[in-house]
Amino acid sequence: MRDELLTRLQKTANTIRQDIIKMLVEAGSGHSAGPLGMADIFTALYFDVLNHKPNNPKWEDRDRVVLSNGHIVPVLYATLAQAGYFPKEEIYTLRKINSRLQGHPHVGTTPGIENTGGPLGQGLSQAIGMALAANFDNKKHWTYCLMSDGEHDEGQIWEAVMFAGKNKLANLTGIIDRNNIQIDGMTEDIMPLEPFKEKYEAFNWHVLEIDGHNMQQIIDACSEAKAIIEKPVVIIAHTIAGKGVGWMEYDYRWHGNPPGTLEIEGDPPKKDQAKSALHDLRTLRGKITGEHE
């Protein structure tokens, strides 16, 4: 892939991360760690991988994106706005009364949203329904299901994994945010998931593992998934929770809290957290582009 394209995608992901911080601070509530960690994957999807039309969100042949872990929806909203699905200034209405941008995705309200999410573990079942419908109708569009690692504590998700494997839904690609955290701590302390890859393989899925912050690997994995024609594919994307904000990274306590809401030893004081987070991200942009801000 050309260096120019990679740089453009990295810059876009960094802009999306800054927008996430701004919208969370404006809302005064919401999740930080997951949205920041998934910005690279959403950028790769909406600015390279997907077949979609922002000016025609209901285009029949569009690829479908199902967000199972709906609490990370700020990254989806920020990405949709960046792609042109709705005016960018609307991101500042996150979680406000009468806003189209609620704390979890709601189908039929916001352009580009394909599923209503809230309770964890249900998105894969929704995505399976879309993939099955495409097969019944002889449609060629793809369905992508974004999932968290923590929601794999839910039994329903494993029923869906079995069903998709049994029915060889090759037009379905799952992408798991493997950041190793959930709201109460580290996944392997709360309910161990490993061996994660082998569990999916046992249910007849093709498994790919990637660095979820490497644009080349993300795009290559999505391309490889389309070449697997006999079974569904899951991409286990190893990510850093809170990516780009140094004092948030790897810390599960920022899973469900925005800047300005927690006092944690070693972190900036509440009043400085928004400014500090944006400074970290602007510095990161300089590293990507060679600019200094």
**Which pair of tokens denotes residue 49?**
């991988």
- Convert the pLDDT of each residue in 47-72 to its tens digit: 999 999 999 999 999 999 999 999 99
pLDDT at 284 exceeding the cut of 80: no
Residue 223's pLDDT band (cuts 50, 70, 90): very high
Across the chain, the runs of DSSP E, i.e. the strands, are 64-67, 143-148, 172-178, 181-182, 185-186, 206-211, 233-238
| 74 upstream amide cis, omega within 30 of 0 | no
Q: Is beta strand 185-186 parallel, antiparallel or unpaired with respect to 143-148?
A: unpaired
Q: DSSP 3-state assignment of 173?
A: strand
CATH number at residue 66: 3.40.50.970
3-state DSSP assignment of residue 243 = coil
pLDDT in tens, 251-271: 999 999 999 999 999 999 999
Q: In the prediction, which pLDDT does 287 show? A: 62
Across the beta sheet with 143-148, what order do the strands follow?
Answer: 64-67, 143-148, 172-178, 233-238, 206-211
Split at pLDDT 50, 70, 90, the class of 44 is: very high
Distance of CA 192 to the CA centre of its chain: 22
Nearest-CA neighbor of 6 among 36, 39, 48?
Answer: 48
- Tell me how far apart the alpha carbons of residues 247 and 266 are, in angstroms, rounded to a whole number: 8
Global pTM value: 0.95
pLDDT-based confidence at residue 2 (cuts at 50, 70, 90): confident
For the stretch 63-99, pLDDT in tens is 999 999 999 999 999 999 999 999 999 999 999 999 9
Q: What is the pLDDT of residue 7?
A: 94
- Determine the pLDDT at residue 3: 86
Structure tokens at 280: 């970290």
Dist. CA 24–CA 95, nearest whole Å: 9
- Cβ neighbours of 283 (radius 10 Å): 13
Q: What's the rounded mean pLDDT across residues 26-34?
A: 97
In terms of residue numbers, what domain contains 285?
3-289
> How many domains does the structure of the chain reveal?
1
Coil, strand or helix at 64 = strand
What would the pLDDT profile of 7-18 be if each residue is shown by its tens digit? 999 999 999 999
pLDDT category of residue 283 using cuts at 50, 70 and 90:
confident
Mean pLDDT of 106-123: 95
Mean per-residue pLDDT of the chain: 95
Q: Can you tell me the mean pLDDT for 132-145? A: 97
